[in-house]
């Protein structure tokens, strides 16, 4: 198939950026002709197999759902743009896509502005709803909601990553036809269990390769001095709990800290965000912050974890970090809500019956999380290893990118028969 994959943002980081580069890579590896349309200034840094990248000229203004920094662009909240500005952005992107038609399908990320771009190409198109546009831009904005609903009606397929996002989509936009539920994926070849000594040595080598970051001025880079700090902190076999993700209040890291205060465990906190200073002030004594980590770091860190906690107190479309931890054989414990609950269900399907409660905890309940961590960390080594193997099994059978990418094309295979 010839697939034109439209994504209005970057290829690095998390969320829909990871999603875009992963499915582009997998489709290309499967023999499809893939062209990616995005605003990534350095696409050569990412493995897209044979997929090509086009960077549309958008005129400098980038509509976003949450303000962030974008090199060479002016990010502005979608809801604050005028109708003319939104339509100009859509037409510039659609024009770039039309130059590469014909195609078997134009696959667009985000209800807004993906559905309008897809519709404006005049080609057969699909839309992947990611959740951020629904919660941060469309909900409560009648004009944007109407625009999303009207353009979604023309899509040949609409994909959601979980039952939770299907519910949110219909709650925000009303009934939507031709919806397919396909979870996001995880690179099960990159995230794998590794012997502890090998993983620690590789992690320190990755830290050694990090660029300078004097005074940790750039919060998108790892902290200065991570190699020495992690070598000391991770020495020995003390129980290790890991959190990785944005350092925002809504991510619930403060709940994890409350749970850890009475446990014999150390914590590694990975990420960046505007809540970091508050978290550092509130952190239990045996806690280390690393700053931002790339996959090359995480693939080495996660095998060192006895547990990975995903304590978010805000709805999540899908628990990507939990799936990555599971693939690495590090049992995740997730707050049981929204898309995270579906991760818990996948883990429970593989766990022994008596250990299924260790997949999740009650949202915001530090006491429940403390009890689950205490039980998991107190398991005999053989049982803990078996739990890690079960978590890995859940990831490979349910969330591998190869399976996800193939499932996304199934509706179009049926259309063509």
CB 368 within 8 A of CB 379: no
Rounded-to-integer distance, Cα 332 and Cα 48, Å: 28
Q: Are 179 and 169 in contact (CB under 8 A)?
A: yes
Mind listing the pLDDT tens digit for each residue in 48-95?
999 999 999 999 999 999 888 888 999 999 999 999 999 999 999 999
Q: What are the residue boundaries of the structural domains of the chain, listed by start?
A: 2-185+401-415, 196-398
Most confident stretch, 131-135, 264-268, 319-323: 264-268
* 2-185+401-415: CATH, from 3.40.50.2000, 3.30.200.20, 3.40.50.10490, 3.90.380.10: 3.40.50.2000
Largest CA distance in the chain: 63
Higher pLDDT, 315 or 92: 92
pLDDT, tens only, 277-313: 999 999 999 999 999 999 999 999 999 999 999 999 9
pLDDT at 417 over 80: no
Residue 414 CB neighbours (<10 A) = 9
- Kindly report the three-state secondary structure assignment for every residue of 82-103: CHHHHHHHHHHHHHHHHCCCCC
Contact 109, 19 (CB under 8 A): yes
Q: Dump pLDDT digits (tens) for 87-111.
A: 999 999 999 999 999 999 999 999 9
What mean pLDDT comes out for the span 159-168?
93
pTM: 0.80
Question: Do 64 and 79 contact (CB within 8 A), yes or no?
Answer: no
Protein fold of 196-398: Rossmann fold (3.40.50)
Residue 317 — pLDDT band, cuts 50, 70, 90? confident
Strand partners of residue 64:
77
Categorize the per-residue pLDDT at 230 as very low, low, confident or very high, splitting at 50, 70 and 90: very high
Asked whether the domain spanning 196-398 has the same topology as the one spanning 2-185+401-415, the reply is yes
Q: How confident is the model at residue 416 (pLDDT cuts 50, 70, 90)?
A: low
Mean pLDDT of the chain, nearest integer = 96
Are 302 and 325 contacting, i.e. CB atoms less than 8 angstroms apart? yes
pLDDT the model gives residue 68:
84
pLDDT of residue 415: 61
Residue 413: its pLDDT value, please?
Answer: 82
Portion of the chain with pLDDT greater than 90, in percent? 92
User: CB of 327 within 8 A of CB of 392?
Assistant: yes
Query: Residue 41 and residue 395: Cα distance in Å, rounded?
Result: 31
> How many Å apart are CA 129 and CA 109, to the nearest integer?
7
pLDDT at 414 over 80: no
| pLDDT higher than 60, residue 44 | yes
Rounded CA-CA distance 267/276 in Å is 15
pLDDT interval class at 386 (50, 70, 90) = very high
What would the mean pLDDT of 336-361 be, rounded to a whole number? 96
Contact 57, 39 (CB under 8 A): no
At residue 282, the pLDDT reads 97
Model confidence band, residue 173 (pLDDT cutoffs 50, 70, 90): very high
For the segment 14-36, the average pLDDT, to the nearest whole number, is 94
123: pLDDT strictly greater than 70: yes
Is 80 exceeded by the pLDDT of residue 14? no
Residue 26 has pLDDT above 70, yes or no: yes
């Amino acid at each position: 198939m010839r697939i034109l994959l439209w994504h209005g943002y970057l290829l690095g980081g998390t969320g829909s950026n990871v999603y875009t580069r992963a499915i582009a890579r997998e489709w290309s590896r499967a023999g499809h002709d893939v062209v990616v349309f995005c605003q990534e200034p350095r696409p050569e840094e990412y493995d897209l197999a044979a997929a090509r990248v086009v960077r549309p000229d958008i005129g400098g203004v980038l509509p976003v759902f949450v303000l962030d920094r974008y090199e060479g662009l002016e990010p502005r909240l979608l809801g604050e743009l005028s109708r003319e500005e939104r339509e100009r952005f859509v037409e510039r992107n659609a024009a770039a896509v039309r130059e590469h038609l014909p195609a078997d399908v134009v696959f667009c990320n985000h209800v807004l502005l993906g559905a309008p771009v897809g519709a404006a190409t005049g080609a057969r198109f699909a839309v992947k709803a990611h959740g951020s546009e629904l919660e941060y831009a469309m909900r409560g904005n009648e004009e944007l909601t109407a625009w999303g609903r009207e353009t979604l009606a023309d899509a040949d397929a609409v994909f959601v990553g979980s039952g939770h996002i299907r519910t949110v989509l219909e709650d925000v936009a009303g009934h939507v036809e031709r919806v397919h539920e396909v979870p996001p994926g995880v690179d099960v070849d990159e995230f794998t269990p590794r012997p502890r000594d090998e993983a620690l040595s590789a992690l320190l080598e990755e830290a050694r390769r990090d660029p300078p970051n004097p005074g940790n001025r750039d919060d998108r880079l790892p902290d200065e001095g991570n190699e020495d700090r992690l070598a000391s902190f991770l020495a020995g076999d003390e129980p290790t709990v890991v959190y990785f993700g944005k350092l925002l209040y809504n991510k619930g890291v403060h709940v994890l800290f409350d749970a850890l205060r009475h446990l014999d465990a150390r914590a590694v906190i990975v990420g960046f965000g505007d809540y970091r200073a508050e978290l550092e002030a509130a952190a239990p004594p045996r806690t280390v912050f690393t700053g931002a980590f790339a996959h090359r770091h995480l693939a080495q860190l996660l095998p060192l974890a006895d547990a990975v906690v995903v304590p978010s107190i805000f709805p999540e479309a899908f628990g990507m970090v939990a799936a990555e931890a599971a693939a690495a054989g590090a049992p995740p414990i997730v707050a049981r809500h929204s898309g995270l609950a579906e991760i818990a269900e996948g883990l429970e399907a593989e766990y022994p019956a008596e250990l299924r409660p260790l997949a999740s905890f009650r949202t915001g309940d530090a006491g429940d999380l403390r009890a689950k961590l205490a039980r998991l960390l107190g398991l005999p080594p053989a049982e803990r290893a078996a739990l890690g193997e079960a978590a890995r099994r859940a990831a490979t059978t349910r969330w591998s990118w190869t399976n996800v990418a193939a499932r996304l094309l199934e509706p179009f295979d049926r259309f063509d028969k």
